[in-house]
């Protein structure tokens, strides 16, 4: 233990894996990070092993994969672990991102960690696409489709595509470049992951599932959280082994056993399942340039969350409206994934357009709108509670307000108007005032319509109650007063206790 805290390198490892403090109430949703690290290690080990045997050329790429499967010792196992762990990698990344969105992990002070994580996602997609092309299956001519998207770049697009693939289709130069990039990118991913961990460590560790900040109720990583990570690790290895040993090709495509033929177009060119949502967004836009922009914008949209989410509290745990919209986003993402595997025909094109709009609307419209509305409702509740306390604890005599000739809902309007005075609405753009003024009028009107008739205060004769601006209307019910209870009833209404009409 003394060496762990004195050696320069081991001291760094100890501060991250042993002594690094984490909130004591972390649930299993925080275990995805350790599983992703395991996936990255598996991918690098199996990938380097496969790179020793694959030949990235038009003539031998397909045969070299078959050589790995048939002739290399346990080559089939290495290849299936590599391909299925790639799917597990993306599946866990999507869960990791979903957990981050749900629990507000993108908010300050962890914004830099979120940005680095987004860069990791982009690098992963590039790595997965490049690796998908290398075996040169029939569906790998998808590389020509994707690389030609770069021709949509103004002025330099055509030259850029020619620089990448050299001729009109995938060739030896293309495969060599893709192989080199596919080999290098995982090590760049390792550097990005280290930056991700450094950013997380320097911003106080993992966020609290309750959405609160502070250093209270925290535990060191070891041994509790390390053992907790081991539990999910064993489960993950067991599930991954089921896929590798019993159904290794279930997440692939049957066209992957047919060599690529540039003279024959495959029945359908479909990317791997983890790229399908963004492929569906690409196909939903009829314009080539706009489609490419939309596809990249869909990936970068998660970068907008720290700036578009204006909520005063972290996470959706206690926000019913945000929960609903979050699960709408999840369902829409799965729908886009299904649409990406379909042919470009009606009604899939129309559904894809609607799903694309819903996807972007969540980040650009739903998140800021819902967060502002929830801030407003929270402000209203806080101010209502504050003014009700003042109402029932004022030293002024309650009887002094019985002669006020005011409308029955003045007290309601008073409370809503007071809510506007919160600091939350100061120094904001004027549109918020216009929007929320209308919202307050609407809510107060509904409140008055449904609850105005029963707006009553019943209290013991010994109690004293009042309000600062003397706006409570009504008269004291004489029948209830004779029975020892002072009930203030709005003029023209019946007493809710004894049903005596108050004229």
Q: Which residues are catalytic?
A: 201, 206, 228-229, 272
**Phi/psi of residue 17, each to 5°?**
-100, -20
Residue 174, Cβ density class (10 Å: 0-12 exposed, 13-18 middle, ≥19 buried): buried
Strand partners, 476: 488
CA distance 316 to 326: 8
Give 225's DSSP letter: I
Q: What is the largest CA-CA distance in the chain?
A: 104
User: Could you tell me where the beta strands, DSSP code E, fall in 168-214?
Assistant: none
Q: Quote the tokens at residue 252.
A: 């692939």
Q: Find out whether 128 and 185 touch, Cβ atoms under 8 Å.
A: no
CA distance 124 to 278: 14
Q: Find out whether 447 and 413 touch, Cβ atoms under 8 Å.
A: no
Q: Find out whether 112 and 197 touch, Cβ atoms under 8 Å.
A: no
CA distance 241 to 201: 32
Closest to 315 in 3D by CA, of 209, 206, 200, 204? 209
Half-sphere exposure of 76 (CA within 13 A, CB side): 9
**Phi/psi of residue 23, each to 5°?**
-60, 140
**Phi/psi of residue 459, each to 5°?**
-150, 160
Q: Quote the tokens at residue 230.
A: 């081991």
CA 4 to chain CA centroid, nearest Å: 37
Cis, peptide link before residue 109, omega less than 30° from 0 = yes
């Amino acid at each position: 233990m003394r060496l762990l805290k004195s050696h320069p390198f081991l001291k760094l490892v100890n501060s991250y894996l042993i002594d690094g403090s984490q909130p004591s109430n972390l649930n299993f949703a925080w275990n995805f990070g350790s599983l992703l690290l395991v996936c990255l290690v598996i991918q690098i080990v199996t990938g380097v092993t496969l790179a020793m045997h694959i030949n990235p050329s038009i003539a031998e790429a397909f045969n070299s994969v078959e050589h790995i499967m048939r002739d290399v010792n346990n080559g089939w196992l290495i290849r299936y672990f590599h391909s299925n762990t790639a799917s597990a990698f993306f599946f866990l990344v999507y869960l990791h991102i979903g957990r981050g969105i749900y629990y507000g992990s993108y908010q300050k002070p962890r914004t830099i960690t979120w940005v680095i994580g987004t860069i990791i996602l982009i690098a992963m997609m590039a790595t997965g696409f490049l690796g998908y092309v290398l075996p040169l299956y029939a569906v790998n001519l998808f590389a020509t489709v994707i690389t030609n998207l770069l021709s949509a770049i103004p002025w330099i697009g055509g030259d850029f595509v020619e620089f990448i693939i050299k001729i009109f289709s995938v060739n030896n130069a293309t495969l060599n470049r893709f192989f080199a990039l596919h080999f290098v990118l995982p090590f760049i991913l390792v550097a990005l992951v280290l930056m991700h961990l450094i950013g997380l460590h320097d911003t106080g560790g993992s966020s609290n599932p309750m959405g609160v900040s502070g250093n209270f109720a925290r535990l060191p990583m070891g041994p509790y959280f390390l053992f907790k990570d081991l539990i999910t690790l064993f489960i993950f290895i067991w599930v991954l082994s089921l896929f590798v040993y019993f159904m290794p090709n279930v997440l692939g495509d049957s066209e992957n056993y047919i060599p690529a033929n540039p003279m024959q177009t495959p029945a359908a060119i479909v990317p791997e399942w983890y790229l399908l949502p963004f492929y569906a967004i690409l196909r939903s836009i009829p314009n080539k340039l706009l489609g490419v922009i939309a596809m990249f914008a869909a990936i970068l949209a998660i970068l907008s969350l720290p700036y578009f989410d204006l909520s005063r509290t972290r996470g959706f745990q206690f926000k019913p409206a945000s929960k609903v919209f979050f699960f709408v986003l999840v369902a829409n993402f799965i729908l886009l994934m299904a649409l990406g595997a379909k042919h470009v025909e009606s009604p899939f094109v129309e559904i894809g357009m609607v799903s694309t709009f819903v996807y972007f609307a969540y980040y650009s419209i739903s998140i800021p709108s819902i967060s502002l509305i929830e801030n407003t409702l929270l402000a209203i509740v806080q101010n209502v509670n504050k003014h009700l306390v003042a109402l029932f604890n004022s030293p002024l005599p309650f009887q002094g307000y019985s002669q006020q000739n005011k409308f029955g809902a003045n007290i309601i309007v008073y409370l809503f108007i007071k809510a506007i005075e919160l600091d939350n609405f100061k120094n904001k753009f004027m549109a918020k005032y216009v929007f929320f003024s209308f919202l307050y009028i609407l809510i107060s009107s509904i409140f008055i319509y449904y609850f105005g008739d029963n707006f009553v205060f019943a209290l013991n004769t010994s109690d004293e109650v009042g309000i600062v601006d003397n706006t409570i209307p009504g008269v004291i019910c004489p029948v209830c007063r004779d029975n020892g209870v002072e009930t203030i009833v709005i003029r023209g209404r019946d007493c809710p206790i004894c049903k005596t009409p108050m004229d």
